[in-house]
Structure 1
Amino acid sequence: MKKIITVVCSLLALIGFSYLILFVISSMYSPQADHVPFLNDNRVISQDVEKYRPIFQKYAEANGMGNDTDLLMAIAMQESKGKLPDIMQSSESRGLPKNTIRSPEKSIEAGARYFSKTLKKSKGNIAIALQSYNFGAGFSNYVARHGGRFSPELAQQFSRLKARELGWKTYGDSNYVSHVMRYYNNEKLKQKLAKKQN
């Protein structure tokens, strides 16, 4: 009887351990894995973006957003992950073709200025400002005409409307807010955990 109990316990332990390994692996690769922080380093601000922190801080302060440095960096993560010279993909905000800006600092300067404008136009609503960064400032007007409150459904409606108007298959990223905020929230959590460890 003891032998059977030992075998059963061993099997249960093996099954439990296998389940844990499968959970970790699936969490790393699942697009819905935002509830499991830091298993995938791609969900926090990368070193490619982090190295520009002083420049992000400089232009955040220059545009009256000194507390929003991490938010600007989260935008850069969503836009390029720091892999392109136009780190914030801000060429289009200046009426230029995509990736015309060839300097990370000029991209950060233009991106911070544009985000500051979308923030003012949205009366400080971060979600509307972020989605406007992706869709263009006209999104704020669309929200104002449709109840004045941001929702993912409203972003999807605007995306479909603009795609039809322009004859494109898709327009922008209607999940842009959640994508940026994933980086932002995970970065804040990482900083908080780092403070506790020090």
Structure 2
Amino acid sequence: MQNNYNISSIKHDGSLFILIFITALAVLTIITTKTVYADIYKYVDDDGVLHLTNVPSIPNAKYVLILKEKRILFQSDIDVNKYDHIISKAGKKFKIDPALIKAIIKAESNFNHEAVSPVGARGLMQLMPATAYALQVDDVFHPENNIEAGVRYLRYLLNTYRGNLQLTLAAYNAGETAVAKYNNNVPPFRETKNYIKRVMSYYDSFKK
């Protein structure tokens, strides 16, 4: 799941700030091994204020890509079957293919239950704090709690989009608002499109 950075107090000459921002992201990524983050764009509004975002959603804004999406997958000994019993239980409860759940976990956190993204998404299924609160998750880093809530949210999205998996994954990644903004189509964000392709590729692999 992604969120929106919005730095509204930086003037046009914000090159130094951008460098510091990117460096901070890099450090944070190292500290939180195996975390993920999306493409970061900048744009300058009519008042000369520099904005940073990972969701370029303002029409006619001249976005410039300043940080390409990066996925840190340091582990070579990942046990992709470690949470199968939890995934199977949640899949049965919410009537979702466990292979799809597993694919989303792979794409979101690479099976790292302690993953925290720079935008605050947490745990195996990268729940944003607001989502976790709405789903009444007490410990978002607890594998069973996180998967249970993530799959419940996934079922909600599948119901919302009448089983359309492309839109469901787009909403999981970019948010329901982004999907609605583009008339219930997949938003034209490269990160979101890549996310869908990645999940579907993992899904095919886990179904075998």
Structure 1 counterpart of 2:199: 180
Structure 2 counterpart of 1:18: none
Structure 2 spans left out of the alignment, 5+ residues: 1-72, 115-122
Structure 2 counterpart of 1:88: 125
Cα distance per residue 1:80-106 (max 9 Å; x no partner): 11123311112443258xxx7121111
Cα distance per residue 1:135-179 (max 9 Å; x no partner): 122234234x2xx454xxx332xx7xxxxxxxxxxxx64421001
Task: Report the identity percentage.
Answer: 30
- Do 1:56 and 1:108's aligned partners in 2 also have CA atoms closer than 8 Å? yes
> Residue type of the partner of 2:153?
Y
Task: Select the residue among 65, 73, 76 that pairs with 2:105.
Answer: 76
| 1:55 maps to 2:93 | no
- Do 2:91 and 2:151's aligned partners in 1 also have CA atoms closer than 8 Å? yes
Task: Select the residue among 175, 188, 199 that pairs with 1:136.
Answer: 175
- Do 2:158 and 2:168's aligned partners in 1 also have CA atoms closer than 8 Å? yes
* Paired residue secondary structure (1:155): coil
Structure 1 residues 117 and 155 mapped into 2: Cα distance closer, same or farther (>3 Å)? Answer: farther
Give the deviation of 1:108 after TM superposition: 0.3
More strand by share: 2
Give the deviation of 1:48 after TM superposition: 2.8
* Paired residue secondary structure (2:104): helix
**Higher relative contact order (CA closer than 8 Å, sequence separation 6+):** 2
Structure possessing the higher radius of gyration over alpha carbons: 1
- Do 1:134 and 1:173's aligned partners in 2 also have CA atoms closer than 8 Å? yes
Structure 1 residues 48 and 155 mapped into 2: Cα distance closer, same or farther (>3 Å)? Answer: farther
Cα distance per residue 1:19-73 (max 9 Å; x no partner): xxxxxxxxxxxxxxxxxxxxxxx8xxx85331211111111222232xx110010
Structure 2 counterpart of 1:104: 143
More helix by share: 1
- The 5 A counterparts of 1:1-198 are 48-65=79-96, 68-85=97-114, 86-92=123-129, 93-95=131-133, 101-143=140-182, 145=183, 148-150=184-186, 154-156=187-189, 173-188=192-207, 191=208
What is the aligned length?
120
- Do 1:49 and 1:76's aligned partners in 2 also have CA atoms closer than 8 Å? no
Structure 1 residues 62 and 140 mapped into 2: Cα distance closer, same or farther (>3 Å)? Answer: farther
Runs ≥4 residues deviating over 3 A: none
CA distance in 2, matches of 1:142, 1:123: 18
Give the deviation of 1:131 after TM superposition: 1.2
Give the deviation of 1:182 after TM superposition: 1.2
